[in-house]
Structure 1
Amino acid sequence: MTTTKQRPGWRPERLRERREAHGLSLEAAGDKLRQVADRANLRIAGNFQTIWSHETGSVYPGPHYRRAYCLMYQSTEPDLGFRLPLPSEQEAPSAVLPVPTPTTNPAVTEEAASAISSGLDHVTDGTQDYDPAAGEVLKNRVVSAWRGRMLTDGVKRPVLVLVGGYAGSGKTEFARFLGDVTGWAFLDKDSLTRRLVERLLVSLGGDPHDRHSELYLNEVRPLEYKCLMDTANDNIDCGISTILTAPFIAELNDEGWMSRLTNRCNAKGMDVAAIWVRCDVESMREYIEFRDAPRDAWKLANWDEYIQGIDTEHAPPGVHLTIDNRQGAAISIADQTREALRKILG
């Protein structure tokens, strides 16, 4: 939960109106909310007291609660009164993915593919400078990978996908969504290297949770990314499509680095695609506070200094596709795409 403050577009009464329109008591809404959250791996308590505090406006729902409400009511954050809509959401008021009627007809695979394609189109940030042809190729390959899992593998050439973004941008969650849809291997830098990084920093006389000092940036970070890329190379050698998630800030801004990676992969018959997950400063801070990771302590304690060093308006030049996750919009669509697939496939 998030303490109450003035939030543009917040209309807490809409939650109560939506609950009553569904004929749910507070207790029943809590039960249903917990079921939805469990399926989506969201951490909430879902008791009626908390729901009531959201509906009366005494507490603003945290990120996992907002995602769960959107799933339960099959709606968007602006529709539920959590915030003002983004420009793209105003252009397409109904951002909720249509859920086709479950069927045993073979066309079910195409219905699912259409839902995935619609979700990806909706969260693509068309305001950024990127190669539209490469972006479309990547989106088509995601959908083709889905068809391949359901029917036959129509894409024989594997792909290495880099998903980058600042801390709290939603990059890991979006990468997981891509992994769910495509069945491609998923490698998260923090999961692979965090424990080794912490031990190495201690052995060098540093803070295990340091991610900003010269010691980390010069002595540890290069090894951390080398471990990630070495692991990816093992998959490349085996021809396994792989999704990597890490900030990739320096890497995606280094044309030489991207060129070397692309050439190395092409030599082994693998394509490379880079995705940038864009997010606003307030949403990133909210999620960083929510996950409460020790490695984020410096960022939160020195927030003004930290945000002066990042660019939330523009994607790095080496990116093929930018995902617009400002105010959590893209992750909400990803959640609903998963839910749509669950309903389509039973």
Structure 2
Amino acid sequence: MARKHPDWKPDLLRMHREEIGLTLEDTGEKLREIAERHGFNIAANFQTIWGHEKGSVYPGPHYRRAYCRLYRRNEAQLGFRKALPGEDAPVESVPAPTSAERKLPDQPDAVRQALSSIREGTDDVDSEALRNRVVDAWRRHTAGGSVDGPTVVLVGGFAGSGKSEFAKFLGGLTGWPILDKDSLTRPLVDQLLIALGGEAHDRSSELYREKVRPLEYRCLMEAAWDNVDCGISTILDAPFISEFSQAEWMQRFQNRCRSKRVSVATIWVECDPESMREYIEFRGAARDAWKMEAWDEYVAGLDLKMRPQGPHFVVDNRLGAAVALVDEARDVLSGGGL
């Protein structure tokens, strides 16, 4: 379903392209290089870029992320949307920074900037301490060292919120393994649903919720405990909707980690419904078919104000803001440039 973008200012793309002296063909080549570096799914050519600049085709999420990397601007500055609180707004009349001003920041600064989207969700957690832990792990990882004392990071959020992207970023920084629920269990879950008389990609029925889902999370957690018992820090990537909503489950998890002398960080990735829908549509997964067919019903069932019970952190990925910082940090760490 086509959706309007009332805040979109496509002419800003052309302005930024011309200010750094790129042709449409040059821009396509650089966008393809960025896509290869970041794993974006785009095939940029001058016709597509022309359509974006003329306003006839609104760029998809991977195109917008690639444009942000190319022009060193966030989505608001490139005119794709309004600015979030604290973001820089579009610049339409002031000349763009010179090439010297466009250079990438230092690696530690870029990492910290990307991690700055982690903020305290409750008063009993310390986001600066978590950022320092991750930065320390990154430094030790890149230096070939190891981290003493394992850490378990739970990264949760609604479908399409950007939790997997953020979990992968943390894993790439620290070298900690990522346990993704879907990657670990999807083939078995699909076949189990069929064996029980359901449909392979069903994730909304009572059959799935009562008979299958508990086994999914049990597999995920057992794999995590195997790592922890070996002293290996681990990142868990899953929605955790039911688990984070239960104070008892959260307390049991905290107690078990404490008994093993394991540090815990619970991160909730928040996002707006429109952005979640766009990312769900973009990935085109069969398990999301019901969500797309009954979007209004699905969204009505989400508690968008939900936060995990107990100590936790929050990453604000509304309008893709946190993922944009992650992209910049990846560019800096890879040495990517114009």
Report the TM-score when normalising by structure 2.
0.91
Change (3 A) 1:97 1:337: farther
Shift of 1:90: 4.7
* SS class of match (1:231): helix
Task: Name the counterpart of 2:273.
Answer: 281
Change (3 A) 1:282 1:314: same
Shift of 1:340: 1.4
Task: Name the counterpart of 2:161.
Answer: 169
Percent sequence identity over aligned pairs? 55
Shift of 1:98: 7.1
* SS class of match (1:169): coil
Task: Name the counterpart of 2:112.
Answer: 117
Shift of 1:19: 1.0
> In structure 1, which of residues 86, 92, 99 is the aligned counterpart of residue 104 of structure 2?
99
* SS class of match (1:81): coil
Partner Cα separation in structure 2 for residue 50 and residue 200 of structure 1: 43
Task: Name the counterpart of 1:259.
Answer: 251
1:20-169 alignment runs, 5 A limit:
20-90=18-88, 99-100=104-105, 111-121=106-116, 123-124=117-118, 129-131=121-123, 133-151=125-143, 153=145, 155-169=147-161
Task: Name the counterpart of 2:10.
Answer: 12
Query: Is contact 1:251–1:258 with CA below 8 Å preserved after alignment?
Result: yes
Shift of 1:318: 3.3
1:220-231 alignment runs, 5 A limit:
220-231=212-223
Deviates more, 1:167-176 or 1:304-313: 304-313
Query: Is contact 2:244–2:307 with CA below 8 Å preserved after alignment?
Result: no
Shift of 1:44: 0.1
One-letter amino acid of the counterpart of residue 17, structure 1? M
Shift of 1:9: 2.0
Change (3 A) 1:98 1:309: farther
> In structure 2, which of residues 283, 293, 296 is the aligned counterpart of residue 291 of structure 1?
283
Partner Cα separation in structure 1 for residue 286 and residue 144 of structure 2: 44
* SS class of match (2:80): coil
Partner Cα separation in structure 2 for residue 343 and residue 299 of structure 1: 39
Query: Is contact 1:130–1:317 with CA below 8 Å preserved after alignment?
Result: no
**RMSD, matched Cα:** 2.3
Q: How many residues align?
A: 329
Shift of 1:8: 3.5
Partner Cα separation in structure 1 for residue 11 and residue 151 of structure 2: 46
1:190 aligns with 2:188: no
Partner Cα separation in structure 2 for residue 153 and residue 268 of structure 1: 22
Question: Structure 2: 5+ residue runs without aligned partners?
Answer: none
One-letter amino acid of the counterpart of residue 36, structure 2? D
Partner Cα separation in structure 2 for residue 215 and residue 77 of structure 1: 41
* SS class of match (1:89): coil
Partner Cα separation in structure 1 for residue 137 and residue 304 of structure 2: 30
Partner Cα separation in structure 2 for residue 72 and residue 198 of structure 1: 40
Question: Structure 1: 5+ residue runs without aligned partners?
Answer: 101-110
Query: Is contact 1:184–1:240 with CA below 8 Å preserved after alignment?
Result: yes
Query: Is contact 1:141–1:155 with CA below 8 Å preserved after alignment?
Result: no
Shift of 1:99: 2.4
One-letter amino acid of the counterpart of residue 253, structure 2? L
Query: Is contact 1:97–1:333 with CA below 8 Å preserved after alignment?
Result: no
* SS class of match (2:261): coil
Change (3 A) 1:28 1:270: same
Change (3 A) 1:219 1:142: same
One-letter amino acid of the counterpart of residue 118, structure 2? T
Query: Is contact 1:113–1:147 with CA below 8 Å preserved after alignment?
Result: no
| Deviations 1:240-279, CA, capped at 9 Å, x for gaps | 0000000001111111111111221222221111000000
* SS class of match (1:84): coil
Task: Name the counterpart of 1:329.
Answer: 321
Partner Cα separation in structure 1 for residue 306 and residue 217 of structure 2: 23
